[in-house]
Amino acid sequence: MFQRKLSKTLAGRLIEPRRFIQIVVGPRQTGKTTAVKQAVAQNDLPRRIANADEQATLAGSWIEIEWQQARRLTAQGKPALLVIDEIQKVAQWSQTVKRLWDEDSWNDTPLSVVLSGSSSLLIQKGLSESLAGRFEVLRSTHWLLSEMSEAFDYGMEDYLHFGGYPGAAAFKSDPERWITYMRDSIIEATVSKDVLQMEDVRKPALLRNLFMLGAQYSAQEISYRKLLGQLDDKGNAATMAHYLELLSGAGLMAGLKKYDPKSLAVRSSSPRLLVRDPSLMTATWGSSMDAFFGNPSLRGHLVETAVGVNLLARAQTERFEVHWWRDGGAEVDFVVTKDDQLVAIEVKSGRIKGTKGLTEFCSRFPNAKPLVIGDRNTSIEDFLRGSVPLFD
């Protein structure tokens, strides 16, 4: 069975002496549970497995009951393991985990702990509130072309259409069933379970419409004013920015900020909307997919989306930031920054456009490294497979 790097990394950490809580976080249906199962299966530690997603309403006392059960496995000082899935569903989970972890540290209880969750925002909030210095984070990103190719024999066109959700691969030969799965089991499940139930969203219909509209405009700049107009002016710019943050934290859609060395300008700029997986764009087009792929402009935005998805996934593990840039008629698809390194990326995706923006950007920022994806030197497929380095 195919194993992601995430699973192998976690397996290695579980054979180490107890040091930190291992936190596995990432969007729904990206294989977090499978990766944890694979990692756990590679050692013979006695274990307690619990899933908060199977419960209706949970408080910290539920964690304590599961933790006490796991502690019983450490009889005579033998190491054991506790795994809790969808930990963010438990009210004030981080305070309970901190208390129990610190008790075990004080008493030298050899209980290793793995927690996983689907809401990055809620997990991060809990970590910052209570667990500083006690955890390591492992990120389960959407699967990239290289992984889907190895696990499911995807080619680049398959990846552009069906994306990086492993559970959806079984429906590749049945597009209508695939669309139903994507809309019901991924998009709607993420919105209803990982956003609306966990955050104060006063206008849920607006949030859903924002995602659907953003998916159609993926890889394009769209001002908050235009978004409000498209959505019948329901809400305001601050509300839209907040809802976009929630969609990003749930792994559905990001809003890339414009690159500017002045951080205030970055924060105030309109976003370039980008779904977090190509399939989130194609699934919203439904029965019009033939027309979609036959339109060079739309297909071009899909290719640019796939490149952006790759960059966002790599950014989480390689620790860099992703922006875009435009000034007047000059535009660069993506700008990547890491420490003092700067990379300007132009994607030749089939849409009619030149490289004037790349030339202009590099003239303004002489330290920038230009990278054209889709020319004879760097193919789109090579980049999506991860074989093109970004930094020196």
Residues 254-302: tens digit of each pLDDT: 989 889 877 655 555 678 899 999 999 999 887 566 767 788 888 889 9
| 259 within 8 A of 129, measured Cβ to Cβ | no
What are the helix (H) ranges across the chain?
Answer: 5-14, 32-40, 60-71, 93-107, 120-130, 145-152, 156-162, 175-181, 189, 204-216, 224-230, 237-249, 263-268, 278-282, 289-294, 296-318, 356-364, 380-384
Q: Which pair of tokens denotes residue 205? A: 């219909």
Cβ neighbour number for residue 295 with a 10 Å cutoff:
15
Strand order in the sheet with 47-51: 47-51, 80-85, 111-117, 21-25, 135-139
Residue 31 token pair: 């294989």
Instruction: Give the C-alpha separation, 109 to 76, whole Å.
Output: 10
CA distance 308 to 346: 11
The domain locations on the chain are 5-139, 147-384
Using CA atoms, how far apart are residues 308 and 373, in angstroms rounded to an integer? 12
Cα separation of 361 and 20, whole Å?
Answer: 43
| Predicted TM-score of the model (pTM) | 0.88
The per-residue pLDDT string of the chain (392 residues; one tens digit each, 9 = 90 and over) reads 899 999 999 999 999 999 999 999 999 899 999 999 999 999 899 999 999 876 666 777 899 999 999 999 998 889 999 999 988 888 888 899 999 999 999 999 999 999 998 766 667 776 776 788 899 999 999 999 999 999 999 999 999 999 999 999 999 999 889 999 999 999 999 998 888 876 778 888 888 888 988 898 898 877 666 666 666 555 577 787 888 888 988 899 998 988 987 765 555 567 889 999 999 999 988 756 676 778 888 888 999 999 999 999 999 888 999 999 988 888 999 999 999 899 999 999 766 666 788 999 999 999 999 999 998 889 999 999 988 999 87
The CATH class of 5-139 is alpha beta
Please identify which residue in the block is written with the tokens 């976009």.
244
CA dist 353 and 363 (Å) reads: 19
